[in-house]
Amino acid sequence: MNMVKVAVVYYSSTGINYQLANWAAESVKEAGAEVKVVRVAETAPKEAIAQNPGWQKHVEETKDVPVATTEDLEWADAIIFSTPTRFGNVASQMKQFIDTQGGLWASGKTVNKVVSAMTSASNPHGGQEATVLSLYTSMMHWGAIIVPPGYSDDSLFAAGGNPYGTSVTQSQEDGSMVEDVQTAVKHQAKRVVEVASKIHG
């Protein structure tokens, strides 16, 4: 059986989705798969980043994380996306990355990729579900196989109960995670590996 290859592709401005991505990667390794954690390129102006100390700090802390490429997607049997919510939708940085994959899509190389998504927002009803669903719309165009967590594990309820993909609320006071989602993220990633193993193993 071939070792399943998983790309964890994230965008994070202050670190929440970076943490989600790393938890997912840990679970992928624990499930016996190969994993890459890659960040999509930052497209925001330096002036905007400089106005937010947390954003500036995170950019500096993660400058050595490899930037996601088309080759990473082509390499992967499965892709786990993690993106903040922006006005109820995918962050523009992540959308830009997805929108530049026309060549990969046209060559048929996105077909049957196993995909799943996670997100964060500053309010519980700030568009978390809409963000994951909007990303999945693009994945339908790719011909990808969407693997949501559903309610396949009790950890999803403790994490807020989003069946489309683990989502977390970021505290507006200190920037921390409100819900305890680590176990839910790890379950979602393990489920991605299990399904990808059936298809690509």
Over residues 128-142, the mean pLDDT reads 98
Percent of the chain with pLDDT over 90: 95
Express each pLDDT in 41-98 by its tens digit: 999 999 999 999 999 999 999 999 999 999 999 999 999 999 999 999 999 999 999 9
Q: Domain with 163 in it: what CATH number?
A: 3.40.50.360
| 147's tokens | 């693997």
Q: Is the pLDDT of residue 140 over 90?
A: yes
20 neighbors 168 (Cβ within 8 angstroms): yes
Output the pTM of the full model.
0.97
Decide if pLDDT at 14 tops 70.
yes
Contact yes or no for 95/21 (Cβ under 8 A): no
Q: E-assigned strands of 15-172?
A: 34-39, 78-86, 89-90, 114-121, 145-146, 167-169
Does position 173 have pLDDT exceeding 90, yes or no? no
Average pLDDT score, the chain: 96
Tell me what pLDDT residue 172 has.
85
Quick one: tokens of 112? 């049957």
pLDDT for res 170? 93
CA angle 43, 44, 48 (to 5 degrees): 165
Does residue 2 surpass a pLDDT of 90? no
CA distances for 170 relative to 17, 55, 71, 74, 116, angstroms: 10, 14, 32, 32, 21
- Structural domain range at position 52: 5-200
The total of structural domains in the chain comes to: 1
Question: Is pLDDT of 1 > 60?
Answer: no
What distance, in Å, lies between the first and last C-alpha atoms of the chain? 5
Nearest residue to 123 (alpha-carbon basis) of 58, 77, 91, 169: 169
